[in-house]
Structures are given as C-alpha cells and as structure tokens.
Structure 1
Amino acid sequence: MNIKYIDLIDQTYYFPQEEFDLNNNKLSFHGIDLMGLVEKYGAPLKFTYLPRISENINRAKKWFSTSIDKNNYQGSYHYCYCTKSSHFEHVLNEVLNNDVHIETSSAFDIDIVEKLKKKGKISNDTFILCNGFKRDQYITNIGRLINNGHRNCIPIIDNYEEIDLLAEEIDGKFQIGVRIASEEEPKFEFYTSRLGIGYKNIVPFFNKQIKGNDKVELKMLHFFINTGIRDTAYYWNELLKCLKVYVQLKKVCPTLDSLNIGGGFPIKNSLAFNYDYQYMIDEIINQINLACQEANVPVPDIFTEFGSFTVGESGGAIYEILYQKQQNDREKWNMIDSSFITTLPDTWAINRRFVMLAINRWNDEYERVLLGGLTCDSDDYYNSEQNMNAIYLPKYRKDKPLYIGFFNTGAYQETIGGFGGLQHCLIPQPKHILIDRDKSGNLTTQLFSEQQKSEDLLQILGYNGN
C-alpha cells in the first residue's frame, strides 16, 4: 500500500519537475539544498533565487522573438519590468542585467530610477513608462526626469487633466501614451476599470487635447485587463476592441507607433500548472497583424509589463511545523512558526495559492491537515492546496521536525506585508536570504535581512524612551 508522502506526490503529479527534485529524501529547488538552507540560517525564512528572474525574462524574449519571426511581424518587442511587483535593489539589479525597460506606478519609483541611472544600470535609452494616477509629486518627478534628458520617459495618461499638468512641468516637447479603460470580466463588481480612458473616448480625447498640441506627441496605446493574459473569450474580445481603437487612432495620429499589452502572464501555482505561453504569444501577434493588415496601417512595436512573471517564481518561504492541534475528530491543525497574514498576505487577502510542499521526511506516512499561523486572528490559515482541496503532509511527530515550503512567492508579498514594519500581533518578520550563482555556476547565499527583533517593533511603536 502506497502511504508515503513521496507516493502521494508521485501519483498525483508528474514528479520530479524542472525546478523540484528529491535528494536523500529532501526537497531541492533549482538545485538548492533547502534543508541545508534551514540548517545554516534557521526557520522561518524567506529567500530569493535571483537567477530565476533572468531566466524568465529571457524565456519571454525568446517566445516573442519566435512569434515575430513566425508571423513575419514588422514591429519590434520591448520587455518592461513592472516595479511594483518588487522594488528591492537586488531584484532591479538582476532585472536590468537583461536589457529591459521599466514601468513605474508612483512618485517614489522615479527616485529609484534616478538612483539606478547614477549607478549606470539605466541609460537615457531605457524606456520608463509611467503608469498610475498622477498626483503632484509624481508629476513633478516625471518632469524632473525628462528635463534632465531622459526623453524615453513616457507618461501613460490616466485621466483628462494629466496632459496639462505634465506640460507645466516639462520643458519642450514630450512623448505620452494613453491607457484604455478596459471593461472588466462580467463577474466583477464594476463594469469598467477605474484606470485609463474609455474605449469610445480615446479618439475624441486625442482630437481635443493632443492633436495640434505642439508640446505633446502620442506614441503609445496601453491595454491591460485585470484577469491577465488567458485563453478566454473575454480576453480575446477585449484585445480586439483595443486593436480597433489602435487602428482608428493610427489613421489620425502618425506618431502612434507602439502598443503596450500590459502584463498578466500567470506563474506556476501548482505542480499541475499548465499554460502554453508560446501559443498565447503567437495568437496575440497574429491578431495584431491581422487587424493592422485589414485596416492598412503599420503594425505597432509591442511592449509588455511583466511583474509577477518576472519575479514571482524567484521567491520562497520555509516554515517549521511547531505543533499539531487535534481540534475535533476530523481536523488536525499544523501550526507554523510564523504568520500567513504577514508573510504571505495574498493567501489571506485574495485566496492566492502557491506551490506548497514538504521540505523533508518524504519517505514518511502522510496525513490530511490544515495549516495555521501564529497570530490570534481566525483568518490566519492556509487550507487548500491547488487541485486537491486539502493539504497532505508527512505525519506530525514531535521527535522528527517537519519543514514545509511555499514556492513562487516572489511578487508583492514583501510590499503588501509591510517589509521592515509592524507585523500583525507583532509576530516578527522572518530573515530573508538572497541566493545567486557565481561565474562558475556554484550557488552562493547572503543574508539580506535579519529576523525582526522586539527593539525594531518597539521603535516603530514609539517605545524608544528609557
């Protein structure tokens, strides 16, 4: 009878996989000895495997290059990184090793861009696409960047007032993009995105505020839908609506030469994950080609803004099971040595699922459990593994420590969780490890941040006197 954890995984999924394997009854991730990491640094811990960032960037570049050649597409492709997914310097340094561009969301992003320029990571040839609703400081910072010579900074217009506000700050002529306010999926609570300008209003907006304006040149049309790039009737319908706007606008605006299709590539959230990236890109390129051919207009250069896809699969979190609570005859609660609400907030806020696996004891018998965090909040739990609607782990034994890992957690979790700040119930933020490879391909590790101490939290709370 197959009752071991390894049997369960092997019968349920194809295993091993590209990034996951077993070595001496212990899980490895991209060749990283995860138990070795625990033994060196302790648990709980978070880690970032930097090479995965470059791997995903270059995978996407290759997919687009293949599609462009296959479809004889006459435009070029530009990969942008969406900084809000992770603003950390180590992430941006890795991203910018790959000849890519940047998409920003707020005023302080521009300060980061300027620091990266001083270090030579970004040049005036790097496109800086400025999205988001632009308050005074964001407008000022965009103007400063452009006035200092970064003419490839392109503010993406989000509302009708922004052109005039930007024109007051920027010396001379500048390029802009316009964001389409896409219609949301029917199950959403609202019909139209709050971001951008409606489909039907784009051309009238151009005629009224951009055409004949000597200071402004329209370069880009921006399109993005909240559900991301998925093979659904909804996505293809919204893309076709966007392309209709593009060809209408191109006929009256010769300077328009770029289409930004946003981000939204999914990342692996289960060992059963299956997504045909190449097919989706082929079909997108084909649809753009066809729409432009039918309208007899040149095809646009294509920009993407991949955030989660760029950094998501680089991150992971490791916890120890501290204790098991048998709450009734059916429910066993495995208590982790941290909090889901603070360290993986998307599991709590939007029911996001990540790849979750035991780190050790794969040859032990398994049991069905629920996972609970340390806070006294009833919502601090994780209880559903993708495609199984249950969590199975090696049986809890007090004399045999059990460690579990959550993988592909590299996007948004630190910023949403408030990295370096207060944590719910004052549960300390775990230590964070950076993992890289040297020129010979050997793994290297570096402690990026220590686990929070009581002094750190007391300082924030104002208890800094005698």
Structure 2
Amino acid sequence: MNTKYSDLIDQTYYFPQEEFNLDGAELKFHDIDLMELVRTYGAPLKFTYLPKISQNINRAKDWFKSAIEKHDYKGSYNYCYCTKSSHFEHVLNEALKNDIHIETSSAFDINIVEKLKKAGKISDDRWVICNGFKRDQYIENISRLLNGGHKNCLPIIDNYEELDLLSEKIDDKFQVGIRIASEEEPKFEFYTSRLGIGYKNIVPFYNKQIKENDQVELKMLHFFINTGIRDTAYYWNELNKCLKVYIALKKVAPHLDSLNIGGGFPIKNSLAFEYDYAYMVDEIINHIKLTCDDAEVDVPNIFTEFGSFTVGESGGAIYEVLYQKQQNDREKWNMINSSFITTLPDTWAISKKFVMLAVNRWNDEYERVLLGGLTCDSDDYYNSEQHTNAIYLPKFKKEKPLYIGFFNTGAYQDTIGGFGGLQHCLIPQPKHILINKDENGQLNTRLFSEEQNHEDMLNILGYDRNK
C-alpha cells in the first residue's frame, strides 16, 4: 500500500520537476539543500535564489526573439522589470545584468534609479518607463532625471493634467507615452480601470495636447491588463481594441513607434501548473503584425513589463510545524512558527496560491491537515481554498520536526507585508537568506537580514526613541 508522502506526490504530479528533486527523504529546490539551510540558519526563514531572475529574463527574451524571427517582425523587443514587484538592491542588481529596462510606479523609484546610475548599473540608454498616478514629488523626480540628461526616461501619461505638470518642470524636449484605461474582466465590480485614459479619448487627447506641442513627442501607447497575459477571449478582445487605438494614433502621430503590452506572465503556483509561454508570445507577435499589415502601418517596437515573472520564482519561505491541534473529528490544524498574514500576505488578502511542499520526512506516512499561523486572527490560515488541492503532509510527530516550504513567493510579499516594520500581533519578520552561484557554479549563501527582535519593534513603536 502506497502511504508515504513521496508516493502521494508521485501519484498526483509529474515529479521530480525542473526545480524540485529529492535527496533521500529531503526536498531540494534548484539543487539547494533546504534542510542544510534550516540547520545553518534556523526556521522560519525566507530566501531568494538570485540566478532564477536572470534565467527567467533570458527565457522571455528567447521566446520573443524566436517569434520575431519567425514572423519577420520589423520591430524590436524590450524587456522591462517592474520594480514594484521587489525593490531590493540584490534583485535589481541581478536583473540589470541582463540588458533590460526599468518600469517605475512612484517617486521613490526614481531615487533608486539615480542610486543605480551612480553605481554604474543603469546607463543613459536604458529606458525608464514611469507609470502610475503622478503626485508632485513624482513629477519633480522625473523632471530631475530628464533634466540631468537621461533622455530615455519616458513618463506614461495617466490623466489629462500630467502633461502640463511635466512641461512646467522639464527644460527641453521630451517623449511621453499614453496609458489606455482598459476594460476590466467581466467578474470585476467596475467596468474600466481607474488608471489611464479611455480608448475613445486618446486620439482627441493627442490632437489637443501633444500634436502641436513642440516640446513633446508621443513615443508609446501603453496597454495593461490586470489579469496578465492569458489565452482568453477577454485578453484577445482587449488587445484588439488596443491595436485599433494604436493604428488610429499612428496615422496622426509620426513619432509613435512603440507598444507596451504590460500585464505580466503567470508564474508557477502548483506542481500541476501548465502555460505555453512560447505559444503566447508567438500568437501576440503574429497578431500585432497581421493587424498592422492590414492597416498599412509600421509594426511597433514591443515593450513588456514583467514583475512577478522576473522575480517571483526566485523566492521561498520555510516554516517549522510547531504543534498539531485536533479541533473536531475531521480537522487537524498544523500550527507553523510564523504567520501567513505577515510573511505571505497574498495568501490572506487575495487567496493566492503558492507551491507548498514538505521539506523533509518524505518517506513518512501522510495525513490531511489545515495550516494555521501564530496570530490571533481567524484569517491567518492556508487551506484548500488557497491551495490547488487539499493539503496533505507527513504525519505530525512531536519527536520528529516537520518543515514545510512555500515556493515562488519572491514577488510583492515582503513589500506588502512591510519588510522591517511592524507585523500583525508583533510577529517578527523572519531572517532572509540570499543564495547565488559563483563562477564555478557552486552555491553560496549569505544572511541579508536577521529576524526582528523586540528592540526593533519597540523602537518603531516609539518606546525607545527618547532613551
């Protein structure tokens, strides 16, 4: 009878997989000895496997290169990283090794760009695509970057006032993009995105504010779908509407030469995850080419803004199961030594799924469980609503510690959770480990941040500031 946890995984999924394999009864992730991490640093812990960032960037570049060559597409491809997915220096340093561009969303992003420029990580020929609703400081910082000589800083106009605000601050001629206010998926409680300018208003806006303005050139039309790039009728319908606007705009805007198809690729959230990235890229390139050829306009240069796809699959978190509570005849609660609300907030806020696996004891018998966090909040749990299937783990045994891992957690979780700040119920932020490879391909680790202690918390709360 197949009752081991390893049997369950083998029967349910194709296993091992590219990034996951077993060493005896212990799980490895990209050949990282996860139990050795636990023995060295303890748990809970978070980690970032930096080489995965470069790997995903270059996978996307290859898909677009192949599609462009196949369809004899005359435009270029430009990969942008959305800094809002993870602003950390180690993430940007790794991403920028790969000849990419940057997409920003707030004023302080520009300060990060300036730091990276000073360090020689970003040159003036890199595009800095400035998205988001622009308050005074954001306008000020964008203008400073442009006035300082970074001509490839491209503000994306989000509302009717931004162009005038930028023109007042910027000394010379500059380029802009316009963001389309796309329609949301039918299940949304509102019809149109709050960001950008409506489809029907873009050409009139150009004619009124840009066409005769000698200071401004329109370079880009920006198209963003909140659900990401997926093979659905909704996505293709919105892309078609976007292309109609691009064609109409191209006929009156001679400097328009770029289309930003924002909205990222999905990332792996289960061992059963399937998505044909190469097919989607091929279809997008072919569709844009055919549509533009029919309208007899030049195809645009393509920009993408991949945030989660860039950094998401580089991250992971490991917890220890502290205790098991049998609350009724059917429900066993495995209590972890941290909190889902504070360390993986998307599991709580939007029921986001992550790959979840036992890290050790794969040769033990398994049982069905629920997972609970340490806070006193009833929503601090992870169960089959968040998970792709019911949760099965090796049976809890007090004398045999059980560790579980959540994988592909590298996008958004630290910033949404408030890295280094206060956490719900004052649950401390776990230690964070950076993992890289040296020139010989050997893995090396270093501690990026310690677990928070009471002094960190009390200082933030003001108790120690006057001492």
State the TM-score, normalizing by the size of structure 1. Answer: 0.99
Separation in 2, partners of 1:54, 1:63 = 14
Corresponding letter in the other structure for 1:328: N
Q: Which residue of 2 aligns with 1:212?
A: 212
CA distance in 2, matches of 1:369, 1:307: 33
SS in 2 for 1:183: coil
4+ runs of 1 displaced by more than 3 Å?
A: 385-389
Asked if 1:151 is matched to 2:151, the reply is: yes
- In 2, the alpha carbon distance for the partners of 1:442 and 1:25 equals 23
Aligned to 1:440: 440
Partner of 2:229, secondary structure, is coil
Q: Which letter does structure 1 place at the counterpart of 2:314?
A: S
Partner of 2:278: 278
Q: Which residue of 2 aligns with 1:420?
A: 420
Structure 1 residues 7-62: Cα deviation after superposition (integer angstroms, max 9, x where no partner) = 00000000000000000210000000000000000000000000000000000000
The one-letter code sitting in structure 2 at the alignment partner of 1:114 is: E
Tell me the residue number matched to 2:251: 251
**CA offsets per residue over residues 188-219 of structure 1, 9 Å max, x none?**
01000000000000100000000010110000
Output aligned runs, 1:184-263, within 5 Å.
184-263=184-263
Tell me which residue corresponds to 1:176.
176
Mapping for residues 261-340 of structure 1, pairs under 5 Å:
261-340=261-340
Matches of 1:107 and 1:142 in 2, distance apart?
8
Equivalent residues of 1:269, 1:386 under 8 A apart: no
Q: How many residues align?
A: 466
- Whether the aligned pair in 2 keeps the contact of 1:385 and 1:391 (CA below 8 Å) is no
Q: Which residue number in structure 2 is paired with residue 62 of structure 1?
A: 62
Write the letter of the residue equivalent to 1:15.
Answer: F
CA distance in 2, matches of 1:344, 1:454: 21
Q: Is the 8 A contact 2:227 2:263 kept in 1?
A: no
Secondary structure of the equivalent of 1:292?
Answer: helix
Give the aligned partner of residue 90 of structure 2: 90
Following TM superposition, by how much is the alpha carbon of 1:263 offset from its aligned partner in structure 2, in angstroms?
A: 2.9
Q: Does 1:39 align with 2:33?
A: no
* 2:320/2:336 contact within 8 Å kept: yes
Do the aligned partners of 1:269 and 1:353 also contact (CA within 8 Å) in 2?
Answer: yes
After the TM superposition, which residues 52-131 of structure 1 pair with which residues of structure 2 at under 5 Å, given as runs?
A: 52-131=52-131
Would you say the 8 A contact 2:63–2:281 is kept in 1?
A: yes
Shift of residue 388 of structure 1? 4.9
Q: CA deviation at 1:264?
A: 1.7
Match of 2:363 in 1: 363
1:389 deviates by: 3.3
Secondary structure (helix, strand or coil) at the match of 1:261 reads strand
Return the alpha-carbon distance in structure 2 between the equivalents of residues 100 and 144 of structure 1.
22
Q: What whole-Å deviation, never above 9, does each CA across 1:160-194 have from its counterpart, x for those lacking one?
A: 00000000010111000000000001110100000
AA at the equivalent of 2:315: G
Asked if 1 retains the 8 angstrom alpha-carbon contact of 2:351 and 2:386, the reply is no
User: C-alpha distance in 2, partners of 1:103/1:373?
Assistant: 35
What is the CA distance between 1:289 and its match in structure 2?
0.2
- Report the CA distance between 1:385 and its aligned residue: 7.1
Structure 2 length-normalised TM: 0.99
Return 5+ residue gaps in structure 2 as ranges: none
Q: Which position in structure 1 is the counterpart of 2:7? A: 7
Contact preservation (8 Å) 1:183, 1:193:
yes
Name the amino acid aligned to 1:447: L
User: Following the alignment from structure 1 to structure 2, what is the Cα–Cα distance between the partners of residues 251 and 295?
Assistant: 10
Secondary structure of 2:312's partner? helix
Aligned counterparts of 1:402 and 1:297: Cα–Cα separation in 2: 61
Partner Cα distance (1:226, 1:188) in 2: 11
Structure-to-structure mapping, 1:342-361, within 5 angstroms: 342-361=342-361
**Counterpart in the other structure of 1:136:** 136
Once residues 388 and 112 of structure 2 are traced to their aligned partners in structure 1, the CA distance between those partners, rounded to angstroms, is 42
Shift of residue 390, structure 1, vs aligned partner: 1.1
Check 1:433–1:387 CA distance in 2 against 1; reply closer, same or farther (3 A cut).
Answer: closer
2: distance between equivalents of 1:154 and 1:338?
A: 42
Hey, what's the Cα distance between the residues in 2 that align with 1:389 and 1:276? Answer: 22
Indicate the SS of the match to 2:63: helix
- 1:185 partner letter: E
C-alpha contact (below 8 Å) 1:334/1:370 kept by paired residues: yes
Aligned residue in 2 for 1:26: 26
Secondary structure of the residue aligned to 2:357 is strand
SS of corresponding position for 1:223: strand
Structure 1 unaligned spans of 5+: none
2:465 corresponds to 1:459: no
Deviation readout 1:224-256 (Å, 9 max, x if unpaired) = 111110000000000000000000000011100
Q: How much does 1:68 deviate?
A: 0.2
Say which SS state the counterpart of residue 181 (structure 1) adopts: coil
Equivalent position amino acid for 2:151 in 1: R
CA displacement 1:125-174 (0-9 Å, x = unmatched) = 00000000000000000000000000000000000000000000101110
Judged with a 3 Å threshold, the aligned counterparts in structure 2 of structure 1 residues 343 and 415 are, in CA distance, closer, same or farther, namely same
Query: Does the residue aligned with 2:186 lie in a helix, a strand or coil?
Result: coil
Is the 8 Å Cα contact of residues 270 and 386 (structure 1) preserved in structure 2? no
Q: Is the 8 A contact 2:353 2:388 kept in 1?
A: no
Q: CA deviation at 1:386?
A: 7.0
Q: Counterparts of 1:391-410 in structure 2 under 5 Å?
A: 391-410=391-410
| 2:188 aligned counterpart, secondary structure | coil
SS at match of 2:40: helix
1:165 aligned residue: 165
Distance 2:148 2:349 in 1: 41
Counterpart Cα distance in 2 of 1:168 and 1:254: 24
Letter in 1 for 2:79: Y
Q: Aligned letter for 1:38?
A: V
